[in-house]
Amino acid sequence: MIPRYTLPEMGTLWSEQNKFQKWLDVEIAVCEVHAEMGVIPREALEEIKTKAKFLVERINEIEKTTDHDVIAFTTNLAESIGDAARFVHYGLTSSDVVDTANALLLRDSCDILLRKIEALLEVLKRRAFEFKRTPQIGRTHGIHAEPTSFGLTFALWYDEMRRNRARLQAARERVAVGKISGAVGAFAHLDPVVEEKVCARLGIKPALVSTQIIQRDRYAEYLSVLAIIASSLDKFALQVRHWQRTEVREAQEKFKRGQKGSSAMPHKRNPILSERICGMARTVRANSIVGLENVALWHERDISHSSAERIVLPDSSAALDYMLQKTASLLDGLVVYPERMLENLNATRGLVFSGQLLLALTQSGVSRETAYEWVQRNAMKVWDEGGDFQTLVAADPDIQKHLSNEQIKKSFSLDTYLRNVDVVFDRVFNNSLEQSS
C-alpha cells in the first residue's frame, strides 16, 4: 500500500524488516525444537541464537544472484553465524518458513484490525444513543418513505460491525496456522512432533495436513472477510455522502479550519473522506478475487500465488486498517442537523404518513383495497398539484364517513414511528432477543 494510506503500526508489521524477522523467528524456533530432540547440538543452537543477524539490503543484493529470497535470507544468516549455520533450515523447505511466518503476520494483522473495529463500535454506540429519538425521513428507492429514528442508522451499523468482528475473529483462527512438514507436506525429513512444538512456541496451531504450502482457502477467507468489512464501511460512507448533498444537508463531514473544498470554488465543502473510503473499498474487494484465484494450484504447489500475495495481503490489510480508523474519525466528528431533518421530513406536506392513515381506515372497517384507493388519490393530488395532505384527507367525504378529525390527526402523529425504538435498542445493545430465546 502506498504510504499515503498506510498507518504506522500496520506499515511496520508488513515491512520487509519485520517479514524477515518473522522468518528468523520461525528458523530459531525450529532450531530450538531440534536441539531439544537431539537433532542438532546445543552449542550450535546457542551460536545461532547469539549470532544470527540479517540486513534487508544484503538479502536483496544476494537475491540478485540467487533469484530466491529464502536462499538469499539463509545465505545472509550464514554470513553472521558461521559454521553452525549448517543447522539452520535443517529439513525445511522454503514454504515451511514463509507460510508459518505468514501465519504470524496475518494473526497480528487481525489483532490490529480487531482493535480498530472495537474503536468504531464505541463511536457507533455513542452516536446511536445520542440520536435515538431524533426523527428523520426514511427513504426507499431514494424516495421519502416513512419517518424513522436517525439513531437507528447507527444501531444498524453497530450490529453489522459486530458481525464483521465475529467474521474476522473466525478468519484469525483459520489463518493462524503453520506448517513444518517439508517439500510436499509428507514429513519425509521431519518428525511431525517438530511441527507441533514449533507452532506451539510461536503461538499458532499446526495445519492438520498440508502440501508444500498452507492451503490458500485460508488466505482467501481472510481477504474475503476484509472485503466484506470494507463493503460495510463503503455503505456507511455512501450514506454520509447522501446526507451531505446540498439538497439534503442532514449531516456532513467535519470541515476543519484551513481546509479547502475546491481549487476553483471557495464555497465548496465536499465529502472527500467518505469518497476516499468508498474508493478504497473497491480495491479491497478486487484483492479478494486474487485470494480466491490463488486457491487452485498445481499438485502439491506451484508459485503462481506468491507474487500476487506479496501485493494483496499487505495492501488489503493496510487499506482496511486505514479505512477503519478514518471511518471512526468521520462518524465521531459527523456534524448533524436535526432541524434540517425535520424540514426534509415535512417536505412532502404530510405524504409520509399515508401508511398510518391506510391502517386507520382498515381498522375502521374499510377494505384494504378501498382504503388504499382513497388515500392514494389524495396523495397523488399533492404530488401533482401541491397542497397539504392532511387538509385534503380531512375534506375527503369517503374518509370523513369512517374517521373523525381526531383519528385523522392521530394518523399524522410522528410519535408512532418512534414508539418502538427502545425495543430495537434493547435488542441490539442488550441482546434481549437472544437472551429471551
pLDDT value for 257 = 76
| Same structural domain, 283 and 416 | no
91: left (phi over 0), alpha (psi -120 to 50) or beta: left
User: In the listed set 321, 341, 361, which residue is the last one of a domain according to the structure?
Assistant: 341
3-state SS assignment for residue 149: strand
- CB-based contacts of 356, cutoff 8 Å, min separation 6: 411, 412, 413, 416
Task: Indicate whether 46 belongs to any domain.
Answer: no
State the average pLDDT over residues 56-61: 97
Per-residue pLDDT of 155-200, as tens digits, reads 999 999 999 999 999 999 999 999 999 999 999 999 999 999 999 9
Q: Are residues 250 and 320 in the same domain?
A: yes
Distances in Å between the Cα of 238 and the Cα atoms of 137, 235, 327 are 17, 5, 11
Residue 388's φ and ψ, nearest 5 degrees, are: -105, 125
Examine residue 118 and state whether it is found in any structural domain, yes or no.
Answer: yes
pLDDT band, residue 5 (cuts 50/70/90)? very high
DSSP annotation of 211: S
pTM of the entire structure? 0.94
**Residue 298 counted as domain residue:** yes
Asked if pLDDT for residue 299 goes beyond 90, the answer is yes
Residues 313 and 396 in one domain: no
Q: Which of 322, 341, 360 is the last residue of a domain?
A: 341
Would you say residue 7 lies in a domain? no
Q: What pLDDT is stored for residue 152 in this prediction?
A: 97
Dist CA 159 CA 165 (whole Å): 10
User: Where residue 377 falls among pLDDT bands split at 50, 70, 90?
Assistant: very high
Q: How many CB atoms lie within 10 A of CB 263?
A: 7
197 & 327 share domain: yes
List 141, 299, 307, 437, catalytic entry: 141
| Total tally of structural domains belonging to the chain | 2
In terms of domains, do 284 and 148 share one?
Answer: yes
Which secondary-structure segment (H or E) carries 32? helix 16-36
- Give me the mean pLDDT over the 394-418 stretch: 93
Q: What is the pLDDT of residue 263?
A: 63
Catalytic residue among 68, 189, 262, 304: 262
Long-range contacts of residues 72-75, Cβ cutoff 8 Å, at least 24 apart: 73/20, 73/23, 74/27
Region 340-351: what's the mean pLDDT? 96
| Minimum mean pLDDT range among 93-107, 120-134, 257-271, 399-413 | 257-271
pLDDT digits (tens, 9 = 90+) for 27-49: 999 999 999 999 999 999 999 99
Residue 433 pLDDT level (bands cut at 50, 70, 90): low
Range of the domain at 101: 92-254+266-341
Q: Is residue 205 part of a domain?
A: yes
Percent of the chain residues past pLDDT 70, beyond the cut: 97
pLDDT for the residue numbered 248: 95
pLDDT at 269: 79
Among the candidates 341, 359, 381, a domain finishes at: 341
| Annotated catalytic residue 141 | yes
SS3 138: strand
- Looking at the structure, tell me whether residues 125 and 220 fall in a common domain: yes
Residues 147 and 211 in one domain: yes
In the predicted model, what is the mean pLDDT of residues 93-114? 97
CA distances from 283 to 124, 288, 312, 317, 320 (A): 25, 9, 9, 11, 10
Mean pLDDT of 337-341: 97
Task: Give per-residue pLDDT as tens, 8-34.
Answer: 999 999 999 999 999 999 999 999 999
Show the cell assigned to 20. 524477515
- Residue 175 and residue 234 in one domain: yes
Looking at the structure, tell me whether residues 334 and 379 fall in a common domain.
no
* Confidence tier at 85 by pLDDT (50, 70, 90): very high
- Burial pattern 384-418, b for ≥16 Cβ within 10 A else e, equals eeeeebbebbbebeebeebbeeeebeebbeeeebb
pLDDT of residue 93 exceeding 80: yes
For residues 148 and 199, membership in a common domain is answered with yes
Q: Is 85 part of any domain?
A: no
What are 321's three cell numbers?
Answer: 486498517
- The answer on 270 and 204 residing in a single domain is yes
- 323 and 361 in a single domain? The answer is no
- Domain at 369, CATH number: 1.10.40.30
Average pLDDT for the chain: 95
Which band of pLDDT confidence, cut at 50, 70 and 90, is reported for residue 63? very high
pLDDT higher than threshold 90 for residue 432 = no
Element (H, E) at 157: helix 150-175
| C-alpha cell of residue 341 | 431533518
Asked whether residue 176 is domain-assigned, the answer is: yes
Contacts of 49 (CB under 8 A, 6+ apart): 28, 31
- Domain containing residue 238: CATH number: 1.20.200.10
| 260 inside domain | no
